[in-house]
Amino acid sequence: MRILVIEDEKKVASFIRKGLSEEMYAVDVAYDGAEGLSMALETQYDAIILDVMLPKKDGMTVVRELRGSGCSSPVLMLTARASTQDRVQGLDYGADDYLTKPFHFEELAARVRSLLRRTSSEKSTVLSCGELALDTVTHRASRLGKEFDLTTKEYSLLEYLMRNKGRVLSRSLIQQHVWSYSFDTESNIIDVYVKRLRNKIGDEGAARMIRSVRGVGYIMREPDLNSDEGEEDDE
């Protein structure tokens, strides 16, 4: 999942970026409101962390303009001021939650998970598909109790596929939600990662859960053990 952090204080921004990266998210940072707004309108972020006091455009204006432009990414506002008026205004302008500075990273991480659950049909912190389980708190992936050691990107890809179970996802959509701006476009990188992921989780045969959709991308779906339609993959 990909998150945008709009925060002008370099130290705070890097603290959040580092923490979220360790939580397996792809993270982009904008250091002022105008840049943040344009990035948020350009990419479909899974969540946006937005500071209130920002140069060029304050957080209140950013969230109002985002909602006015039809952006529906969940927004968590950071406010240094513990004033009720600020929090009320932020929520009324379209923010989904707020956190008062200073905060503990654990709380920020929990609130981000909560925001991601709101937009996902999956309301549990443990995502599942067939016998596969992905714990979004501990970042453990397992199948019938057997754990897999996933890299950050493999985890991120699996989380995105599982959160969107049953939906056809194009390669560009997957790229947008799993890789950050620093990603250099290699045309087959997604296919390479999907292949690695399938190998690790033992996803093969007719009951394969991550299916290729020819000319489009991938879909993750519950394994159909009675299916005899065979492999639709073009590999």
Question: What residues make contact with Ca ion under the rule CB under 5 A?
Answer: 8, 51, 53
8 or 35, CB closer to Ca ion? Answer: 8
The closest alpha carbon to 51, from 86, 26, 23, belongs to 86
Min dist CB 67 to Ca ion, Å, is 21
d(CA 132, CA 213): 21
* Orientation of helix 171-178 relative to helix 152-163, angle to 10°: 120
Residue with tokens 């350009």: 42
The closest alpha carbon to 59, from 84, 89, 39, 85, belongs to 89
39 or 53, CB closer to Ca ion? Answer: 53
Min dist CB 7 to Ca ion, Å, is 6
DSSP letter at 151 equals -
Residue with tokens 């707004």: 37
Measured from each CB, the residue nearest to Ca ion is 53
31 or 148, CB closer to Ca ion? Answer: 31
Min dist CB 29 to Ca ion, Å, is 13
CB 158 within 8 A of CB 119: no
9 or 191, CB closer to Ca ion? Answer: 9
Min dist CB 80 to Ca ion, Å, is 7
53 or 207, CB closer to Ca ion? Answer: 53
19 or 223, CB closer to Ca ion? Answer: 19
Sheet of 168-170, strands arranged across: 168-170, 217-220, 210-213
Min dist CB 23 to Ca ion, Å, is 22
Give the bridge partners for 47, in sequence order.
3
Min dist CB 73 to Ca ion, Å, is 20
Residue with tokens 């045969």: 205
Helix (H) / strand (E) element for 217: namely strand 217-220
